[in-house]
């Protein structure tokens, strides 16, 4: 099944761009964080703040590895999900992975609502972003395509992805 799978850091635009691609191509849009919230009846912030990140990663893995959309869909994943090798292999098999690449400065500007980003709440946000990106980017770069999401509009980026994947 050829799904379009958006990966990248918090603030890289996965949800916004994913929604546009799904609208333009008439595909379903699946947001894995949203599925986790539905399954647990808790917000992502509450899961991480109350139950801890380790517990969140277990639920995240369970939710993603149980995905079986019937029709080709657009899937937006939480920024840390692909660091799990099983999840990454699963997603690579499920479709085309697209890394929405943005610099720490851009990600910093786009994550001002840190209260809904529990991993960015404690400490210097820019430093946390730089550290996470440094650790994650080698994995993100293993995606099928890499799209610079820097200074372009979400619609422009979505159009680029649609063209490059011949959707
Ligand atoms: C996380 C990103 C979040 C969410 C959780 C952890 C991460 O999703 O899954 O807060 O580890 O980068 P978004 O990337 O959609 O913000």
Residues 7-60 pLDDT 10s: 999 999 999 999 999 999 999 999 999 999 999 999 999 999 999 999 999 999
Residue 80 CA, ligand 1 centroid: distance in Å? 6
Q: Judge if the beta carbon of residue 33 lies within 6 A of ligand 1.
A: yes
DSSP 4: E
Residue 28 CA, ligand 1 centroid: distance in Å? 21
Which residue's alpha carbon is at the smallest distance from atom 9 of ligand 1? 78
pLDDT of residue 114: 67
- Ligand 1 nearest atom to the CA of residue 33, by list position: 9
Between CA 129 and CA 135 the distance in angstroms is 10
**Token pair recorded at residue 136:** 């994650």
The pTM assigned to this predicted structure is 0.95
Give the start-to-end residue ranges of the domains of the chain.
3-162
pLDDT of residue 68: 87
pLDDT of residue 1: 56
150 falls in which pLDDT band (50, 70, 90)? confident
Average pLDDT score over residue span 111-137? 91
Q: Judge if the beta carbon of residue 128 lies within 6 A of ligand 1.
A: no
Convert the pLDDT of each residue in 58-99 to its tens digit: 999 999 999 987 899 999 999 999 999 999 999 999 999 999
| Element holding 3 (H helix, E strand) | strand 3-7
Which residue's alpha carbon is at the smallest distance from atom 8 of ligand 1? 78
Q: Which residue has the tokens 């992502």?
A: 44
Query: Which of 80, 82, 104, 140 to mutate to test ligand 1, by most ligand atoms within 8 A of the CB atom?
Result: 80
pLDDT of residue 96: 97
Q: Which CATH number fits domain 3-162: 3.40.50.300, 3.20.20.80, 3.30.70.360, 3.10.450.50?
A: 3.40.50.300
Q: Judge if the beta carbon of residue 18 lies within 6 A of ligand 1.
A: no
Q: Judge if the beta carbon of residue 13 lies within 6 A of ligand 1.
A: no
117 falls in which pLDDT band (50, 70, 90)? confident
Residue 157, strand partner residues: none
Judged against a pLDDT cut of 70, whether residue 105 lies above it is answered with: yes
Between CA 60 and CA 81 the distance in angstroms is 7
Would you call 62 helix, strand, or coil by DSSP? helix
pLDDT of residue 132: 97
**Token pair recorded at residue 143:** 């995606």
């Amino acid at each position: 099944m050829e799904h379009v799978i958006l990966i990248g850091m918090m603030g890289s635009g996965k949800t916004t761009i994913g929604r546009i691609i799904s609208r333009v191509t008439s595909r379903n849009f699946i947001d894995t964080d949203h599925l986790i919230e539905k399954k647990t009846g808790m917000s992502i912030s509450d899961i991480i703040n109350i139950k801890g990140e380790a517990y969140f990663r277990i639920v995240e893995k369970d939710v993603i590895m149980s995905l079986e959309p019937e029709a080709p869909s657009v899937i937006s994943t939480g920024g840390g999900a692909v660091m799990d090798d099983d999840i990454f292999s699963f997603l690579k098999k499920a479709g085309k992975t697209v890394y929405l690449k943005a610099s720490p400065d851009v990600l910093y500007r786009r994550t001002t609502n840190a209260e809904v980003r529990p991993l960015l709440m404690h400490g210097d946000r820019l430093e946390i972003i730089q550290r996470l990106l440094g650790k994650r980017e080698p994995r993100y770069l293993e995606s099928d395509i890499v799209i610079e999401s820097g200074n372009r509009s979400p619609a422009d980026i979505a159009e680029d992805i649609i063209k490059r994947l011949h959707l």
